[in-house]
């Protein structure tokens, strides 16, 4: 699943994504930390990985494996 960064707070390492269908999706710090990224910019395109229960486990760039 992919979306666009709507908000990102570097101090809490969490934020909100805007999905392609217009839905807002909040992601926790642990999902950002799992990505290995240092920062996200507003408007940046990202990919979201979820676990079997639907929890967001990682937010990465679409080009990352």
Please report, in tens digits, the pLDDT of each residue of the chain (65 residues total).
Answer: 899 999 999 999 999 999 989 999 999 999 999 999 999 999 999 999 999 998 899 999 988 65
Q: Is residue 24 part of a domain?
A: yes
CATH number of domain containing 51: 2.40.50
Q: What is the DSSP letter of 61?
A: -
Q: How many domains does the chain have?
A: 1
Provide the token pair at 11.
């101090």
CA distances from 65 to 12, 36, 49 (A): 25, 12, 11
Q: Is residue 28 part of a domain?
A: yes
d(CA 60, CA 35): 5
Q: Is residue 65 part of a domain?
A: no
Partners of 56 in the β-ladder: 50
Q: Which domain holds residue 44?
A: 2-60
Q: Is residue 17 part of a domain?
A: yes
Provide the token pair at 58.
């990682």
Q: Is residue 36 part of a domain?
A: yes
Q: Is residue 51 part of a domain?
A: yes
Report phi then psi at 58, rounded to 5. Answer: -160, 140
């Amino acid at each position: 699943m992919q979306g666009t960064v709507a908000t990102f707070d570097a101090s809490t390492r969490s934020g909100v994504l805007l999905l392609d269908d217009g839905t807002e999706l909040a992601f926790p710090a642990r999902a950002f930390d799992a990505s290995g990224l240092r920062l996200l910019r507003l408007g940046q395109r990202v990919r979201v990985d979820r676990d079997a229960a639907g929890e967001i486990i990682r937010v990465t760039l679409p080009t990352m494996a």
